[in-house]
Structure 1
Amino acid sequence: MKKMIAALAVSALLGVMIASVTNAASSHATIQSTVSFRDKPSTNSKVHHYLRQGEKVTVLEQVNAYWYKVRTSRNSTGYVSSNAKYISLASQNVGGGEKPGNNNSSSQTIEKVIKAGQSYLGTPYQYGANRSSTKVFDCSSFVRRAFMDGAGITLPADSRQQGAYVKKKGTTSSNWKNLKRGDVMFFMSYKGTKASAYNGINKSKATITHTGIYLGDGKVLHTYSKDSGGVRVDSIAGKHWEYRFLFGGSAI
């Protein structure tokens, strides 16, 4: 009898411990705007349905910098974008390799970087611009200045070094649709306006020749020629920017 009571006590204690671990590895969240509820953490995966603004979910894990694993009020489990535009955490106690407790401060910093970059809209382009100048920019000096002004971060001087810097920071993606607002984008040389002009190119070995800041919604903030009018915003989808894209990721 004593052994049975002891076993029951241990079982109860284990149950409490498991419940505590489960609670410690989850967080309640609210959907901020309509977002795809997918079966895998990828924009290429199946969409089960859409979660609407105001819906409550439980965040089970932050899979990486781009995705949360969540459970809905109907007890369905799937994946949603971790972009603050779509989801807001009620607390910051989420399991997994990433620690979204830094999301709010990171998002604020990113917005400062973008605001700083947008303050230079229309600033003329000059190849090889002086890195300390704000009168003219080339692509990498512009990105460098935006992060310096907005986040106090001094990125390397040229786009290739900036690409290496971002890769060392952590997760990158070769699919621009997976990027988050404020991520730095890297591109190869211009070959033409059609997708076919880039067929057969091994992009993993291509040289970075251009960089910009992803704004979300398929837009990039950058500068690339005198004729283009200097610092500007361009759409990516269906343009040579999409075909030239190599990878992108966070510099913060």
Structure 2
Amino acid sequence: MKRSTTILVLSAILLTTSFAATAEQNRALAATATAQTATKAQIVSSVNLRDKPSTSGKIIELVKKGATVTILENSNSYFYKVKTSDGKTGYVSSSSKYISVGSGNAASEQTSASVIYGVNLRTAPSTSTGKIITMLKKGTVVTILEKSGDFYKIKTAGGQVGYVSSSSKYLQLKGNGSSSNEGSTSSNQTKIAKVISTGKKYLGTPYEYGSDRNTTKTFDCSDFVRQAYKEALGITLPSDSRKQGTWVKDNGTAKSSISSLKAGDLVFFMSYKGSSESAYKNVDKSKETITHVALYLGNGEMLHTYSQASGGVRIDKLDGAWKFRFLFGGSVLK
């Protein structure tokens, strides 16, 4: 009798376990099927999932080695926005030490990306040892084969294989994030608010021409706007104002009218020639050199730094001589 009872109990346990395992397998299969068309990656070393793309972000959980995640977007140069297999969304380091794109279980699910700023295709994942094969122009669509350090190994539509920088300055991964203009605009507004907030915290920081780009003790004009975008969003702009102007023109639309500027735009100026409008009357602005850059705040105001005597980082009205010196402006974001 006792033996029969024991057998019945064991059978019930095995049957329950079998149903549970089958249900779990079905959930896993469903999750896999749902993510078939998404960008997949494998965690190669346990990494923290955070609530924002920064090491200051709160830790949601530890994603363990071997886990597969879905990449939703390349948030900045250092973090991916991902979705875990159990549905949690957050940010993880994009370092190849922690995550491998297009490898392991996701090897057959190659990732597509679009070049958003001209980038060199190299023979090796290094700027020192990798010889330049060609420059990939803005708008070029490539297939990411794997991530190697700070580089992606990619394949072009023409069949060329090589390595390009994985910085979000150059490539935009095609994930399954919102593609609507409304969603994009809302996202950009949040980002711009963060850039402006970051810039304002440096109000009063002393001016120094040719300031050290590795510190925040002093700034010149281009170093200041570069720091605001780098610290807030992980976007590293060129280090001088002329190259920043070229960057904005290459990645968006230059605005020659002050009235068309939006908060967060970079605004570029030529040399001072006088305080009156007549001093600029016969100037061909298309031939003038950029000598100053500022961060536009909206409502006719700009955040910038231009001399020791002015008191360092400050807010000014975009009027008077500044209005006459204005060359163009443009957005850093898409």
SS at match of 1:172: coil
Residue 313 of structure 2 is aligned to residue 249 of structure 1: no
Q: 2:295 aligns with which of 213, 220, 226?
A: 213
Partner of 1:156: 238
Deviation at 1:176, TM superposition (A): 1.2
Partner of 2:217: 135
Cα deviation code 1:43-83 (max 9, x no counterpart) = xxxxxxxxxxxxxxxxxxxxxxxxxxxxxxxxxxxxxxxxx
CA distance in 1, matches of 2:272, 2:219: 19
SS at match of 1:213: strand
Instruction: Please tell me whether Structure 1 or Structure 2 has the larger radius of gyration of its CA atoms.
Output: 2
Q: 2:317 aligns with which of 235, 243, 251?
A: 235
Higher RCO (Cα < 8 Å, 6 or more apart): 1
TM-score with structure 2 length normalisation?
A: 0.46
Change (3 A) 1:93 1:162: closer
Deviation at 1:192, TM superposition (A): 1.1
TM-score with structure 1 length normalisation?
A: 0.60
Runs of at least 5 residues in structure 1 that lack an aligned partner in the other structure: 1-91
SS at match of 2:209: coil
Matched pairs, number: 156
CA distance in 2, matches of 1:180, 1:200: 28
Change (3 A) 1:115 1:158: same
User: What letter is aligned with 1:168?
Assistant: D
CA distance in 1, matches of 2:253, 2:234: 21
Identity among equivalent positions (%) equals 54
Any residues of structure 2 matched to 1:59-208 within 5 Å, and which? 99-208=181-290
CA distance in 2, matches of 1:165, 1:124: 26
CA distance in 2, matches of 1:173, 1:249: 6
Runs of at least 5 residues in structure 2 that lack an aligned partner in the other structure: 1-177
Question: In angstroms, what is the RMSD of aligned CA positions?
Answer: 1.3
User: What letter is aligned with 1:251?
Assistant: V
Deviation at 1:93, TM superposition (A): 8.9
Partner of 2:44: none
4+ residue runs over 3 A deviation: none
Cα deviation code 1:94-151 (max 9, x no counterpart) = 7xxxx34300111100010000100000000000001111000000000000001111
CA distance in 2, matches of 1:109, 1:234: 22
CA distance in 1, matches of 2:179, 2:291: 40
